[in-house]
A and B are shown apart, each in its own frame.
Chain A
């Protein structure tokens, strides 16, 4: 295996809601309010090699989008480090940082809220490459035509505004904008979630075509396991800010090891399962403001034991490239480790 191009090393992202003036005053009187902290991402290690498609899966609130934003450089990590092509991002000088930011582009879920409604497509797609000196101003129009053709949009529409397009076409504009700065790494955050099935298939095919043509690497964030299974080489499953299992896609879908991964896979509706008896997980995802101690999953886990309530499980290798964070694979759930 070649060296990873992107590495996350114990990355955490915390969001803190500072106390307002009234609470501060109440504290001065001795009320004892504390700041509320959300551990959106809690100590995640991840490495991605050149040309790989990594699927990041989890339910709402598990921190997958926050992790994507940390990777894309939108949020700085609260703890831990990100390195791009062997260099830590916090040690880069301005020029290197600009190169890294351009190389990692993000495609968002809702193109309507990520495309400027008052710009024409030609400016949405063409502005960044001109600003960053990738294309001469005079060549902008020809370059936009090339980009739109690449994502399967009719270039004669380039004078139009985003609202004049359908959902699927807007998704393509978002992709064209990301591709315009010649990225090497794309972070796709639920990029097909809002699309109808037939349009989703078109966009997924486009992603795979671009990967082959441009030798792109993807971090593909989705709650939809069937999309991730179709696209990914490797799958990472998150629950409440932590990675619970990571494995090559074929292996993970054959034999998930973490109880949460097992439940998630069993609950995916499939057209081959007719008149099925749904056997759901109990309970709901706890608030990330007050995550349960020990293993975050233990209140909903059918196998939980006393050790799960007290001790945080670590990621343990089960097979080559396959890791899971569960006490079941690390000495059992019963007694506390000495």
Chain B
């Protein structure tokens, strides 16, 4: 079966006065139908820019300089604004971290939802309103008929995020890109949203790209993981092998940094240093200056992707835990 989304060699660069910022620098991944891909990374790793690139939301000084993004077999790069309008909402939707930025603060929720429905479907105002109401009910908003008449500021953070999800689901797109949608929410509300997303996706067969920095959320939700560092995917694979036997020293370091996994009170295994500036990346492997296993070749040459059976891949000269993946 053809994947819903296939990204190959994507390079999104920002041309600023301080130099070229290579936010996304050669990213390739795919998402199958109904699959949840967790795109994990720290701030500045390029995970959000990857999502924006798929949605065609890169504005100058940013530019997609290379690569291909195929959605249901159709190439998106080179599509004009009119073409993207037809795709957005219908074939791919996006949910952002801060729903206050997605929702128009001066329009009532029904206005915004009806507009989203009629953007792609020629239906009557009444039918569109009914669809909006049903979508709100589906994401667990109590008394949806009355809530349609409310403004975004009248909702709580969790409810606002539900409205954003309801809008994303209006046209039942085969793919939704979720950019840290639960990061700003409390634990119990986050859990509600995750449960909601899980059952909705199981019901409709929607594939998700779940962008987050939280490995715990990804472990509970995703089928596969892609770990990003400094604009590149450094490790991919199914959730279990990546979290149990990480190949890349960065993945291993991230897991060691999690306070939940360490012995209470014992020092955490930290990664030294901090993330490099994307405008001045080192010549070799971007992680080499922080890596405990770095050798001479790491500093000289950037590693290519080594593939392993089971859709496993790592971008490292000296991967760890190799015994676990030997075919």
Contacts and interface: CB of A to CB of B under 8 A. Distances in A.
Contacts of A264: 187-188
Contact of B192 (A59, A199, A223, A280): A280
A281 interface: yes
Given A267-B188, A269-B220, A278 B195 contact: yes
A109 to B, nearest CB: 14
Contacts of A276: 220
Interface in A248-284: 249-250, 263-264, 267-281, 284
Interface in B118-172: 156, 158-159
A250 B158 CA distance: 31
Contact of A280 (B188, B253, B268): B188
Contact of B220 (A59, A166, A226, A273): A273
A225 interface: yes
A196 B275 CA distance: 10
A280 B188 CA distance: 6
Interface residues of B, number: 47
B136 to A, nearest CB: 16
A202 interface: yes
B102 interface: no
B258 A271 contact: yes
A49 to B, nearest CB: 17
A80 interface: no
B268 to A, nearest CB: 4
B220 A274 contact: yes
Interface in A277-329: 277-281, 284-285
A274 B257 contact: no
A231 B265 CA distance: 6
25 contacts: A59-B186, A168-B274, A199-B42, A199-B274, A200-B257, A201-B271, A205-B270, A208-B267, A209-B267, A224-B259, A226-B258, A230-B260, A263-B188, A267-B188, A267-B191, A268-B187, A268-B216, A269-B217, A269-B219, A272-B261, A275-B220, A275-B239, A278-B194, A278-B220, A280-B192
Interface string B212-225: 01111101110100
A271 B254 CA distance: 11
Nearest to A267: B191
B61 interface: no
B219 A271 contact: yes
Given A226-B259, A230-B264, A281-B188, A202 B270 contact: yes
A201 B274 CA distance: 12
A47 interface: no
Nearest to B263: A230
A200 to B, nearest CB: 7
A280 B191 contact: yes
Interface string B187-208: 1111110110010000000000
Contacts of A284: 156, 158-159, 189
B74 interface: no
Contacts of B190: 267, 269
B187 A198 contact: no
A225 B187 contact: yes
A200 B256 CA distance: 12
Nearest to A211: B265
B258 A197 contact: yes
Q: Nearest 7 A-B pairs (CB), nearest first?
A: A269-B216, A226-B260, A201-B257, A230-B259, A278-B195, A280-B191, A59-B186
B240 interface: yes
Contacts of B192: 278, 280-281
A204 B268 contact: yes
A264 B186 CA distance: 10
Given A269-B214, A271-B261, A278-B192, 19 more contacts: A59-B189, A167-B43, A197-B215, A201-B268, A208-B265, A223-B186, A223-B187, A229-B264, A230-B262, A230-B264, A268-B216, A271-B258, A273-B216, A273-B220, A274-B219, A274-B220, A277-B198, A280-B188, A285-B188
Instruction: Categorize the interface residue count of chain A.
Output: 35 or more
A60 interface: yes
Nearest to B216: A269
Nearest to B272: A202
B270 A201 contact: yes
B219 A205 contact: no
Nearest to A276: B220
B292 to A, nearest CB: 13
A204 B221 CA distance: 27
B188 A279 contact: no
B255 interface: yes
Contacts of B265: 208, 230-231
Nearest to B271: A198
A263 B220 CA distance: 16
A112 interface: no
Interface in A129-169: 166-169
B191 A201 contact: no
Contact of A274 (B189, B240, B253, B260): B240
Nearest to B243: A271
B63 interface: no
A201 B188 contact: no
A128 interface: no
Nearest to A60: B186
A267 B194 CA distance: 10
A200 B271 CA distance: 10
